[in-house]
């Protein structure tokens, strides 16, 4: 009787050595191909995002210079320029002087239904 450790039993324990099993090789190859394609796609997306991050718009000073030039040429109202500067600085824009005043606090708002 043979034991597991004999040399005659070694090929039987490993399997049929020397025979290619295409039913395993093809799916494994396809899986490796899909994984390689996924890795390639990840690197391409990372490179694409890094390139987009390098593209930077005009600086704060360049924008202000451009808008100031528009004010000087008469293309932009000075009040609008002040609002743009406030928005770029992150401050609340000053209220324009020519807006209507809110209704008096002692009067209720007009909620009547009107026909057009």
Residue 72 pLDDT grade (very low, low, confident, very high; cuts 50, 70, 90)? very high
CA distance 40 to 60: 38
Q: Indicate if 49 and 73 belong to the same structural domain.
A: no
Q: Give SS3 for 112.
A: coil
Region of poorest pLDDT, from 1-15, 47-61, 99-113:
1-15
Range of the domain at 70: 60-89
In a domain, 48, yes or no: yes
For the chain, the average pLDDT equals 78
Region of poorest pLDDT, from 43-47, 84-88, 103-107:
103-107
Q: Indicate if 49 and 75 belong to the same structural domain.
A: no
| pLDDT recorded at residue 36 | 98
The total of other beta-carbon atoms located within 10 Å of residue 81's CB is 15
In a domain, 65, yes or no: yes
Q: Indicate if 47 and 66 belong to the same structural domain.
A: no
Is residue 5 predicted with pLDDT exceeding 80?
A: no
**What share of the chain has pLDDT > 90, as a percent?**
24
In a domain, 116, yes or no: no
Is residue 96 predicted with pLDDT exceeding 70?
A: no
In a domain, 106, yes or no: no
In a domain, 42, yes or no: yes
Q: Classify the phi-psi angles of 91: left when phi > 0, otherwise alpha if psi is within -120 to 50, otherwise beta.
A: beta
In a domain, 29, yes or no: yes
Total domains in the fold of the chain: 2
Residue 50 pLDDT grade (very low, low, confident, very high; cuts 50, 70, 90)? confident
User: Which of 55, 75, 58 is CA-nearest to residue 67?
Assistant: 75
Query: Of residues 106 and 97, which shows the higher confidence score?
Result: 106
User: What is the DSSP secondary-structure string of 41-107?
Assistant: HHHHHHHHHHHHHH-----HHHHHHHHHHHHHHTSS-HHHHHHHHHHHHTPPPPPPTTSPPPPPTTS
């Amino acid at each position: 009787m043979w034991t597991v450790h004999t040399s005659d039993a070694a090929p039987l324990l490993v399997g049929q050595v020397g025979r290619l099993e295409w039913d395993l090789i093809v799916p494994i190859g396809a899986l490796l191909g899909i994984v390689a394609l996924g890795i390639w796609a990840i690197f391409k997306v990372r490179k694409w995002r890094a390139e987009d991050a390098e593209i930077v718009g005009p600086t704060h000073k360049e924008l202000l210079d451009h808008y100031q030039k528009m004010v000087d040429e008469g293309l932009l109202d000075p009040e609008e320029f002040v609002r743009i500067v406030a928005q770029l600085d992150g401050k609340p824009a000053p209220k324009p002087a020519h807006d209507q005043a809110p209704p008096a606090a002692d009067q209720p708002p007009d909620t009547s239904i009107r026909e057009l």
